[in-house]
Amino acid sequence: MEKNNQKSFEEKVKRLEEISQKFDQEDIKLEEMVALVKEAQTLEKELLNELEEAKKQLNN
């Protein structure tokens, strides 16, 4: 899998949606859940940073 920072904004959002759908599965294992939460947290941080950068560009 690509590193998160090499993905486009849209790809990161799509991946977060995929992670969210996985949590709807009843048979998800704890280890997988922990890994998915960590990945989701990383994606969230990157997306928020990208949004902040876009906001700065609009304000200049």
CB-side neighbour CA atoms (13 Å) of 17: 6
What pLDDT is stored for residue 60 in this prediction?
Answer: 81
- Predicted TM-score (pTM) of the model is 0.81
Question: Is residue 24, in this structure, part of any structural domain at all?
Answer: no
Q: Express each pLDDT in 22-48 by its tens digit.
A: 988 888 999 999 999 999 999 999 999
Question: Is residue 3, in this structure, part of any structural domain at all?
Answer: no
What pLDDT is stored for residue 25 in this prediction?
Answer: 84
Domain that holds residue 54: 29-60
Question: Is residue 49, in this structure, part of any structural domain at all?
Answer: yes
Q: Express each pLDDT in 1-23 by its tens digit.
A: 445 558 999 999 999 999 999 98
The total of structural domains in the chain comes to 1
